[in-house]
Structure 1
């Protein structure tokens, strides 16, 4: 594959290889095939993914369609629609901004290549290809190791890892919003690990009133814990989708800020190839954490819905699994958008500064 890419570069002369963002077609095939067997709506989702439009455009179309549907129902309640929640947390805005930044960077790379010829052109093309190869290796790794995602990191360990990786990039970025979103997601699901189905916990009204009265008089805090253990399956499902949307939006926001800082605010110059390797670690950590959360959410749904019929419980579990898979895909796709950004950064640091 590498030789084919190299031939394309040589044959097209001054055109740059920034690569198409085909993550939606190639990343996570194994997981998606498994989901397709249990989710009747998956084929339609996959068809949307295969359209030749940007990821942000696809998500915006889905969100607008859901808004029109809800408008017809005349309801003001929050809905467990991933696209709308993702937009509420500014995920769509940051994704669109990152796409614009990536496209602008690609144009700058092509324009600069057009100004070169001979040995300088060949040397720069080789440098840009070496950066692209790192991204291509990450994409291949995503395809081969999708099933291994979900290795759990403790909240504090994940926060420490993010901070260290951002420091290693030599950019003045802090993962505060992402860490807080992760903590909120872990907190509610860990509190609900002892949750039981409302149907199982239900006793006679007389016994319930008597028990609540005794608990209130003895320990008000314990009463609060009892309230937490009576979440309905619908509430757990809503929290699951909302948490996935928020965490993914914060991941996209973090990658967008990193891209801006690489271009305009590096504290210290770092080779683009080295930054690409650090970004791979950062993206992998994000995807593993999201996959871990998705698994926890489905476990919580299974517990709280243990007495529910399969036709009620299974669609919710399938939906959370699908959105968890989609979340990692969106993060990986955002990572691919950083390729032209790093190529521009390389040109700025290694080419423009040495010109007379």
Structure 2
């Protein structure tokens, strides 16, 4: 088999890249270790930046998102039992975000890619990347029947997450990895419950962080800070609701609307960056190169921004025989990645209780929240980072 671009990973970066390359007349094949059902059934939250929603709509990929997504013009911050509404649309000149789960985005993209005649090999194993330092790289893998397959290509993209072979194909001596592991995690739940608040609430109150989000008018998504080493058995439903009430209650009589919890799990939080994001004819995208804590809602958006930058660079390479953008891919992406890392770290630090913090540091975090109430410049800076700016070349 042969194609122009071999993509390892059927997540946001790989799928958006394949769609954009198809529009540019460039062939791409995707390899994915999970089954289609597993990809589409992995529940992930999703806050889509303004530019991403516009791009999906322009590409004809946003019909269901426009019908079912929740369009938020602001967010609410809470501390000391009081709330502050940030009108992001007003602060940023009309931009907003859309709450539409990542797995729903993937469902839409997979269906559209297959409808366009694109090739996605699901359920592969043993994927290996070869000869990226030459002009004839190739991929090998085993299909569902255990047969070894080979894909020759011009370029390879590792959009295969933190544990995939993409990053490992860059020699250890040629890459630098930066990581911060946070001493807390998130306990997330899905509950059959009515809507309690019209927009997302980010709270730092009581024993720490809480996030009130939504999935639909009947299903709500909520998170609370917890010990990442906790077993889920230590969090019966009654304890979860008690903590959510304590971390979200106010002095104005607002009541959290509760219901049946039908899914819950604990995730650790960390920040991670790999430099560079390219080696020879191999390019990394998404979680293969960078991970952010979910507090800033940047993971999906950074992954798609990588795909946009890389698709432009590959289009220029095939159209004009120019490698200028390809050569600059890593530097271009990392400028945005580090800004996203900074914002996600700042939101995480400001909104969580860290047992290692001194009383002085805890007051500093609360002062950072209060600054948003008194300074339009501070509020604007947060709003601009949250709604996002289009990827740059």
TM-score, scaled relative to structure 1 = 0.28
Name the larger-Rg structure: 1
Q: Which structure would you say has the larger RCO, counting Cα contacts within 8 Å and 6 or more residues apart?
A: 1
Which structure dedicates a bigger proportion of its chain to strand? Answer: 2
The two structures have a TM-score, normalised by structure 2, of 0.26
